[in-house]
Amino acid sequence: MLEIGAQDSYPPDAVVVRCDGAALTDVEKDAGVQPLDAARFRSAMGKFATGVCVVSYLLEGRPAGMTASAFMSVSLDPPLVLVSVRNQSRLLTSVTVGDRYAVNVLARHQDQVSDHFGGRPSDATPCAFQHSHGAPVIDDCLAAIVARVVDLHPAGDHTLVIGQVEHLEERAAAPLIYFGGRYRRLDGVV
């Protein structure tokens, strides 16, 4: 394995970051290697293009939602999905093992919905909820996945919320894409 510092040169257009917290060597400084910080971490993670979803749930009996891009399918048998949720999120004050939540995959026109549930709320809620199989589901999404929480795994400043899928809905439409900290549109087939 090649260790940072043992290299003579780095790709000229790459930002190279040391992640182990150790002081940069002179070789690294000369090569422009940078220490890890939150902005660098976010920037590198932002190179991974994702869709955008709103995780909806019941908060004191009323629908609530939180925008998330850290969503993935985990297992086919049994069907499991995972969302990584910030530990301070209101979702974690309400949702526990046995509860249901819905992952609403946003369509291209739903950037305002993402903003609203992602910390930039509009005056009026830009979507409606329907009750479906134990969870509030947002109208007009690309897909809705209703899952029952089977496990909560602490992971640093986030918690991995693992759910067993109990109900699926999907429709044909274009997705909302998130890349490099901005919303994008899908640019056709490769």
Ligand X SMILES: Cc1cc2nc3c(=O)[nH]c(=O)nc-3n(C[C@H](O)[C@H](O)[C@H](O)COP(=O)(O)OP(=O)(O)OC[C@H]3O[C@@H](n4cnc5c(N)ncnc54)[C@H](O)[C@@H]3O)c2cc1C
Q: Which residues pair with 52 in a beta bridge?
A: none
Pairing relationship of beta strands 176-179 and 182-185 according to DSSP bridges: antiparallel
CB-based contacts of 20, cutoff 8 Å, min separation 6: none
Q: Which stretch binds ligand X (CB under 6 A): 3-11, 65-73, 99-107, 149-157?
A: 65-73
Q: In whole angstroms, how close is the CB of 78 to ligand X at the nearest point?
A: 23
Torsion of CA 23, 27, 32, 37, to 10 degrees: -20
Q: What six digits make up the tokens of 93? A: 């004050």
Q: Which is nearer to ligand X, 16 or 179 (CB)?
A: 179
From residue 112 to residue 151, what is the string marking binding to ligand X with x (rule CB under 6 A)?
Answer: --x-xxxx-x---x--------------------------
Q: Coil, strand, or helix at residue 31?
A: coil
Residues 77-116 that bind ligand X (CB under 6 A): 84-86, 89-91, 114, 116
C-beta closer to ligand X: residue 90 or 133 = 90
Minimum CB separation of residue 65 from ligand X in Å reads 5
Query: Which residue from 67, 144, 147, 177 is in contact with ligand X, where contact means CB under 6 A?
Result: 67
* CB-based burial label for 57 (10 Å; 0-12, 13-18, 19+): buried
Contact positions toward ligand X, by CB under 6 A?
52, 63-70, 84-86, 89-91, 114, 116-119, 121, 125, 178
